[in-house]
């Protein structure tokens, strides 16, 4: 039996999908910014000469890498209330993505920091810079220019991984699509537009970042 694809059904539920798109973009943007910021903290802890801090950061990265994101989401969503911490699903979604992607971003940033030649550190020391000034004005800017492409790649993974937050009932793009399918029993009309919208987000992220990368290299 041939499947009769209905554009009318898609148009009928398109506003509902766009609400999910808006929430996915919002979760993605906040997640990327917070994960990158957290990744800097993780990276600085990893390269720290204070052994307990470095080992703790390494243990955290190993834990995140060894456990599925879905399990981490379930732990935060169902586990935190057991400790009296009640957070909205949207906040849990951003927190889970930040903690997960921040570990991977931290390793990327650490590699960037370690790729900076020691003469840059010596030059900063000769100017009597503090550790904070050295990292802020000398090391991290150079490191970010080198690791910008892999950070963009990690950001795209974060956006795609955000589909998992739908298990908490968060009205993201995936949750909108599954609800659409449950109401209409028409999977193609629900998930083909959804894949197209995810593709749109990722392409905007990639090409927008590529344009920004070219501008940064001219500085």
Q: What is the pLDDT of residues 119-129, one digit of tens each?
A: 898 898 888 89
Q: Which CATH architecture has domain 7-217?
A: Orthogonal Bundle (1.10)
Q: pTM of the prediction?
A: 0.92
List phi, psi (to 5°) of 97. -65, -35
- Residue 52: predicted pLDDT: 96
Question: Does residue 115 register a pLDDT over 80?
Answer: yes
Q: Is 99 exposed, middle or buried (0-12, 13-18, 19+ CB in 10 A)?
A: buried
Q: Is 24 exposed, middle or buried (0-12, 13-18, 19+ CB in 10 A)?
A: buried
Mean pLDDT, all residues of the chain: 93
77 in Cβ contact with 89 (< 8 Å): yes
- Residue 3: predicted pLDDT: 78
Buried-state track 104-129, b at ≥16 Cβ within 10 A, e below 16: bbbbbbbebbeebeeeeeeebeeeeb
């Amino acid at each position: 039996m041939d499947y009769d694809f209905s554009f009318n059904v898609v148009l009928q539920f398109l506003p509902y999908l766009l609400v999910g798109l808006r929430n996915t973009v919002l979760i993605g943007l906040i997640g990327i910014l917070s994960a990158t910021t957290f990744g800097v903290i993780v990276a600085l802890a990893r390269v720290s000469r204070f052994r307990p801090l470095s080992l703790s950061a390494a243990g955290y990265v190993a834990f995140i890498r060894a456990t599925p994101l879905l399990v981490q989401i379930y732990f935060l969503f169902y586990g935190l209330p057991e400790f009296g911490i009640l957070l909205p699903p949207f906040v849990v979604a951003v927190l889970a993505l930040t903690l997960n992607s921040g570990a991977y971003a931290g390793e990327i940033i650490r590699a960037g920091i370690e790729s900076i030649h020691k003469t840059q550190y010596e030059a900063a020391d000769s100017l009597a810079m503090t550790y904070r000034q050295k990292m802020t004005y000398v090391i991290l800017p150079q490191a970010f220019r080198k690791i910008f492409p892999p950070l963009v790649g990690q950001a795209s993974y974060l956006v795609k991984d955000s589909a998992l937050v739908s298990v908490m009932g968060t009205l993201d793009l995936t949750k909108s699509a599954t609800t659409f399918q449950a109401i209409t029993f028409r999977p193609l009309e629900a998930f083909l537009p959804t894949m197209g919208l995810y593709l749109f987000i990722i392409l905007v992220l990639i090409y927008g970042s590529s344009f920004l990368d070219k501008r940064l290299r001219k500085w």
